[in-house]
Amino acid sequence: MDKALDGVMISGAICVGDCRAMSTRFSEAFQLRQQPEAWLISALNLRRSANIIVEHQRGHDIAFGRALFRATIQAPAVSGAGSDGIDVEIDCEPPDYTAAYMLSGFAMENALKGIIYARNPEFVDAGKLKRVVTNHDLVKLAQTARFECQNLEGRALEMLTKVIEWAGRYPVALIAERQNFDISMVSWGFSPVVDLCLARMIEELERLIGENIENNPPIIHVRDI
């Protein structure tokens, strides 16, 4: 009987020890994932995926442009034949860059959060993310990161915030007041402003990571992520 009880106690002790060790590993991994390098890797992966979609959709741009030109020529001929108000069909699917904008927005979100952590290493926490990095508002994140927008970049961040919050993922917003967004703004054509702005964010994050490595021993390596 005593031996059986001893076995239960020993098993319980091992279980408690294993759970504590696992909790410690989770906490260490959680802190590791908050490092600027981790945010950079995520941003780069998302940008790479966005670029694949952009290149694919640009092929549709040419085909759709030709189909639109044919329809434009055909429209006067149909109208001249006495068919007032007839719609002319465009025999080609239009390009759609919505997913590319969404992924670019997510990449920006990761880059900005990486910049925030690079500028504020004390934000790294063992149990919970800081409130300043738990939102998807790119304008607010840029302000917190002290990233200065140039020319039309501010408006691009406002647009992309709506895309990553709902327009790029769902057919409808959470509340009616947020529905005032024309999805065609991100369907046709990919704005170079978005591409250049994201590139500047990534460059800034890489610069800050480089400075941190010079001033402090490396905290994280790509192989560890």
CATH top-level class of 35-59+95-224: mainly alpha
Pairwise CA distance, residues 17 & 37, whole Å: 31
Give pLDDT tens digits along the chain (225 positions): 555 555 555 555 555 567 777 778 888 999 999 999 999 999 999 999 999 999 998 888 788 777 777 877 776 655 555 555 566 677 778 888 999 999 999 999 999 999 999 999 999 998 899 999 999 999 999 999 999 999 999 999 999 999 999 999 999 989 998 888 877 777 767 789 999 999 999 999 999 999 988 777 655 554 454
Q: Give residue limits of the domains in the chain.
A: 35-59+95-224
**Length in residues, the chain:** 225
> Is 175 in contact with 141 (CB distance < 8 Å)?
no
Find, among 114, 198, 115, the residue nearest to 156 by Cα: 198
Closest CA to 41 of 146, 114, 144, 102: 114
Cα 87 to Cα 74: distance, rounded to the nearest angstrom: 10
Show the CA angle centred on residue 51, arms to residues 202 and 169, nearest 5°: 95
Q: What pLDDT was estimated at residue 150?
A: 93
User: What is the distance of C-alpha 68 from the center of its chain?
Assistant: 32
Question: Could you tell me if 165 and 101 are in contact, meaning their C-beta atoms sit under 8 angstroms apart?
Answer: no
Q: Say how far apart CA 25 and CA 38 lie, in whole Å.
A: 17
pLDDT value at residue 222: 47
pTM for the structure as a whole = 0.78
Q: What is the pLDDT of residue 107?
A: 98
pLDDT given at position 63: 81
CB 145 within 8 A of CB 112: yes
Query: Strand locations in the chain, DSSP E?
Result: none
